[in-house]
Amino acid sequence: MTLDAAAILSGDRRAIARGLTEIESGGPAGVTLLDAVWSKTGRARRVGVTGPPGAGKSSLVAGLVRMLRGRQERVGVICVDPTSPFTGGALLGDRHRMSREAFDDSVFVRSLATRGNLGGLSRSAPAALDLLDAAGFDSVIVETVGVGQSEVEVVATADTIVVVLSPESGDAVQAMKAGLLEVADVLCVNKADRDGADEMALALSNMLDLREGLAWRPLVVKTNALLDIAPLTDAIDAHQAWLGEDGRLGKRRRDATMQRLRWLVGDLATERLLRDAEALLEREVAAVHAGSCSVAHAAQRAVEEILA
Amino acid sequence: MSDRPIRVLIAKAGLDGHDRGAKVVAQALRDAGMEVVYTGLRQTPEMIVKAALEEDVDAVGLSLHSGAHMTIFPRVLELLHAAGLTHVLLTGGGVIPDADRATLQNGGVGQLFGPGTPTRDLAHYIEKEVARRRAAN
């Protein structure tokens, strides 16, 4: 099958869907396709939504889609759910939360499985966003898997990052930890009708007060995804307006590209290094178990030998 | 390309709210190594086909216990074909009389499974049928 870049650029949904499959497969056809549409990328506004499981990410994304449709925007959504490390299977259930919003010719929703990637996204998710961007969607939203504390790949994928928490997400000490909260441009305490929402929002604000040298002080908002998400959309708009000044958006995107490049080069290099290295690794395993050197030493020696 | 995971859409159509079977099947197919898009309840044929197209699935599985199978299956098949998705396997199950099952299968719907079917059979059928269809494309 030949992939029709022209059809994708004109917004043909079937062509976009097949293109996404190709990109997800990670083969050369996906790379060729991305090259063919690359000049059309960079126009869409990109929003990333992340946070722990059950915080309400999908329901908030549904709300964002409704809001953006109200502005007559065309919206693309990529939702990522985890692949089982045991069977390779996945249950992709995010679409289920936005099934009414997805049934709209100006909305395109695609679910991706992580397929072994651990950073909160699938390896192909950033490129999937690129394709939706090129296909002419005004806004593209990426929703990560339910994450813990350190899955921060989303930061290299979107212009504005929303970290969604619920009142049950923890106390002030959790809010002080490194990782997830540091990538937020907007901190959203969802399920704000529940007890503890005000305390959670306050703990987050206090944490932010102690962070010095922030160019952008993340906004803390409270929402109820089923009723009112206006505080969230206002906060995203405010961040996007800020990004629009002084060349900040361009710099942010260059930084993101550098990060993506590092990851991809790392992946490709690892693949190349390990190709045909099985016998050599077996030899190192034998050395370690014979007690002649540590695993760390064996690893260093293996890399030296492969590169030699 | 042939080793990419099988993608299946599992949906409940119409007002039938009995989603236990659909959930059991979705989980069984997940455990069989497939990527299962679960769309949940109250889907129209149009919603199902739009989802199948965007998710680029190999198969659509519908669960029907409401008696609407003679309407829903042909309609979904018609819309799949109209969308150019002739390669997509339409299968499913639920409470469907034998005579209706035969009629639907003769009309181009894949195998339909009744209550009590081991989920393993379902997974094997989808694997075999999708492999055949991928090879033919």
Confidence check: pLDDT of A153 > 90? no
Q: How far is B18 from chain A (nearest CA, A)?
A: 16
Q: Which of A203-217, A289-303, B118-132 has the lowest mean pLDDT?
A: A203-217
Under a CB-based contact definition with an 8 Å cutoff, are residues A226 and A190 in contact? no
- What's the pLDDT at A182? 85
Rounded mean pLDDT, A21-26: 93
Chain A positions in Cβ-Cβ contact with residue B54 (cut-off 8 Å): 13, 16-17, 102, 108-110
Q: Does A1 touch chain B if contact means CB atoms closer than 8 Å?
A: yes
Q: Provide, as residue numbers in chain B, all residues whose Cβ is less than 8 Å from the Cβ of A11.
A: none
Q: What are the structural domains of chain B?
A: 7-136 (3.40.50.280)
Residue of A nearest to B38 (CA): A93
Q: Write the residue in A17, A90, A113 that is nearest to B56 by C-beta.
A: A17
Q: If you measure CA to CA, which chain B residue comes closest to A26?
A: B1
pLDDT of res. A276: 86
**Percent of chain B, pLDDT > 90?**
82
* pLDDT confidence of residue A194: 94
Question: For position B103, what pLDDT does the model report?
Answer: 96
Q: What is the mean pLDDT of residues A96-122?
A: 90
Question: How much is the pLDDT for A308?
Answer: 87
Mean pLDDT, residues A157-185: 82
What phi-psi label fits residue A73: left (phi over 0), alpha (psi between -120 and 50 degrees) or beta?
Answer: beta
Chain segment A232-263, per-residue pLDDT in tens:
999 999 999 999 999 999 999 999 999 999 98
Is the pLDDT at A120 greater than 90? The verdict is no
Question: Which residue of chain A is at minimal alpha-carbon distance from B84?
Answer: A14
- Which pLDDT score is estimated for B52? 98
* Residue A148 C-alpha, separation from nearest chain B C-alpha, in angstroms: 23
Task: In whole angstroms, give the CA distance from residue A128 to residue A261.
Answer: 15
What local confidence, expressed as pLDDT, does residue B1 receive?
43
Q: Which residue of B has its CA nearest to A88?
A: B33
pLDDT category of residue A173 using cuts at 50, 70 and 90: low
Q: Is A70 on the interface with B (CB under 8 A)?
A: no
pLDDT confidence bin for A178, thresholds 50/70/90: low
Question: Residue B40 — pLDDT band, cuts 50, 70, 90?
Answer: confident
Q: Mind listing the pLDDT tens digit for each residue in A263-282?
A: 889 888 988 888 889 999 99
Q: Taking Cα atoms as reference points, which of B135, B42, B35, B29 lies closest to residue B92? A: B29
Q: Nearest CB to A88: which of B5, B53, B56? A: B5
Q: Are B35 and A92 within 8 A, CB to CB?
A: yes
Residues in B touching A18 (Cβ below 8 Å)? 56
CA distance A108 to chain B (A): 7
Contacts of A102 in chain B (CB under 8 A): 47, 50-51, 54
Q: Would you say residue B54 has pLDDT above 70?
A: yes
Work out how many CB contacts closer than 8 A connect A with B: 87
Name the closest residue on chain A to residue B54, using Cα atoms. A17
Rounded to whole angstroms, what are the CA distances from A88 to A98, A117, A140, B109, B129? Answer: 25, 12, 27, 28, 19
- A102·B47 Cβ contact <8 A: yes
Are residues B38 and A93, on separate chains, in Cβ contact within 8 Å? yes
Closest Cα in chain B, distance from residue A116 (Å): 13
Per-residue pLDDT for A286 more than 60? yes
Q: Which residue has the tokens 């289920």?
A: A96
A150 confidence band (pLDDT: 50, 70, 90): low
Please check whether residue A18 touches B, CB under 8 A: yes
Nearest to A99 among B40, B55, B84 (CB): B40
At residue A175 the predicted structure's pLDDT band, cuts being 50, 70 and 90, is low
Contact assignment for B35 to A90 by CB distance below 8 Å: yes
In this prediction, residues A125-139 reach a mean pLDDT of 96
> pLDDT (tens digit, 9 = 90+) per residue, A52-98?
888 999 999 999 999 999 999 999 999 999 998 899 999 999 999 99
Edge-to-edge strand list for the sheet holding A160-165:
A107-113, A75-81, A139-146, A45-51, A160-165, A186-189, A219-222
B contacts of A17 (beta carbons < 8 Å):
53-56
Q: Do A99 and B39 touch (CB under 8 A)?
A: yes
Minimum CA–CA partner of A24 in chain B: B4
**Backbone φ/ψ region at A213: left (φ over 0), alpha (ψ -120 to 50), beta:** left
Please, which pLDDT band fits residue B66 given cuts at 50, 70 and 90? confident
Please give the backbone phi and psi of residue B85, each rounded to the nearest 5 degrees, phi first: -95, 50
Instruction: Using pLDDT thresholds of 50, 70 and 90, give the confidence band for residue A193.
Output: very high
Residue A2 has pLDDT above 80, yes or no: no
Q: Where are the extended beta strands (E) located within chain B?
A: 7-13, 35-43, 59-64, 89-94, 112-113
Q: What ipTM did this prediction achieve?
A: 0.92
Q: What is the mean pLDDT of residues B31-58?
A: 95
Could you tell me which residues of chain B have a Cβ less than 8 Å from any Cβ in chain A?
1, 4-5, 26-27, 29-40, 43-44, 46-47, 50-51, 53-56, 83-85, 137
Which chain A residue shows the shortest CA-CA distance from B36? A91
Nearest to B35 among A16, A109, A113 (CB): A113
- Which of A162-176, A235-249, B123-137 is least confident? A162-176
**Which pLDDT score, from 0 to 100, does residue A1 have?**
42
B68-111 tens-digit pLDDT: 999 999 999 999 999 999 999 999 999 999 999 999 999 999 99
Residues of A in contact with B30 (CB under 8 A): 84, 87, 89-91
What percentage of chain A reaches a pLDDT higher than 90?
A: 69
Least confidently predicted of A2-11, A144-153, B118-127:
A144-153
pLDDT (0 to 100) of residue B19: 85
Contact B114, A45 (CB under 8 A): no
Q: What is the CA radius of gyration of chain A?
A: 21
Number of H helices, E strands in chain A: 12, 8
Mean pLDDT of A197-223: 92
